[in-house]
Amino acid sequence: MRKQWSYHQQHRRVSVSASARLHLGFLDISGALGRRFGGLGLSIDAFRTTLQMWTAPTITASGPSADRAAGYARRMLDLLGIDAGVQIRIDEAIPDHAGLGSGTQMALAVGYAIHRLFGLSSNTAQVARQMERGRRSGIGIGGFDHGGFMVDSGIGECEGPPPLTVQMPYPDSWRVLLVMDSSGQGLHGGQEVQAFRNLPPFPAEHAARLCHLTLMQILPGIREQQMDPVASGIAELQRCVGDHFAPAQGGRYTSTAVADLLNWVESKGYAGVGQSSWGPTGFVLLPDHASAVQLRAQARQRVGELSPLRFEITAACNEGSRVSVETDRQAVKETR
């Protein structure tokens, strides 16, 4: 039975802004100890999904990725049995299918906004389940709630998104150079599902090595603000996982242009290179802004003006999503 809603039960407007994320690799794709996937991730401030939502007679959306947002809204309203519509204005959206978590952040932003707009109690894990997000990774959900550097421990016997077992600030002075290919997209949808089905078993010794790297090198390096162990640890994890996914994505990297550029970056002595999720976005971990500016200039000169590659310098985003709820009397801002 669908629920009838009066305006006395609703807030006037809800605004949500969520940051993009890098997925830095899985820890155990096959689940040697009973938990599959697990992974590392980092929220970044280069791109955001920002929207505002009001109640309306029908479901309408405007701005970038409007069709996707309207579909998510329709799904959530149907699941909640709410006999009302919403108007969504999207001010900015994370680029689609670039390996930056656009789908999860849009789904969570829309779903969470609907819960708040209609005065319902909720948490992000609940919204994720309703939107069928977080079925392999908890990084996007952790980024929505907390930001920073994250590790999730994969899918076990319990239902729901993988638990976030580590969340910590990433040094504010460190930078990431994003290498983005505007001519292609990473695997998504049915292609992604099929790719996971066709992957060979992930060797247990590789999973043990990646977990060892994470616990004894990458995490303490972040805590002690030592870039070298973090960069070299992420690079080794990326090589292992990238080679395992090579049959599905055509090589260690999805984009040949990104691959060529990152191989050149490594030849210059930079360690922390890799690809976020299925790409095509690549990244380079750097110790400060000056290093990022210098490498970006060199990379632009190398690829030339006609290249499909573009470069963005970003810092970490060490906070969760920003939520503002406007009632009849006041606007209340939150940072998750």
Distance CA 256, CA 275 (A): 12
Task: Please give the helix or strand (H or E) that residue 331 lies within, else none.
Answer: strand 331-335
In the chain, domain spans = 1-168+319-336, 171-315
335, 143 contact by CB (below 8 A): no
In the chain the first and final C-alpha atoms are separated, in Å, by: 33
* pLDDT confidence of residue 1: 46
Question: Does domain 1-168+319-336 sit in CATH 3.30.230.10?
Answer: yes
Q: Which residues of the chain have pLDDT under 70?
A: 1-11, 186-193, 195-196, 328-336
Q: Which two tokens stand for residue 296?
A: 């970006």
Query: What pLDDT is recorded for position 8?
Result: 45
Contact 118, 10 (CB under 8 A): yes
Task: Give me the sign of the Cα torsion angle 52, 56, 61, 67.
Answer: positive
Tens-place pLDDT, residues 77-89: 999 999 999 999 9
Question: What stretches of 217-299 adopt beta strand conformation (E)?
Answer: 273-275, 282-286
At residue 334, the pLDDT reads 66
Closest CA to 53 of 78, 71, 75, 70: 70
CA distance 174 to 292: 9
State in words which class domain 171-315 has.
Answer: alpha beta
Pairing verdict, β 175-181 and 309-314: antiparallel
pLDDT at 332: 61
pLDDT score of 3: 56
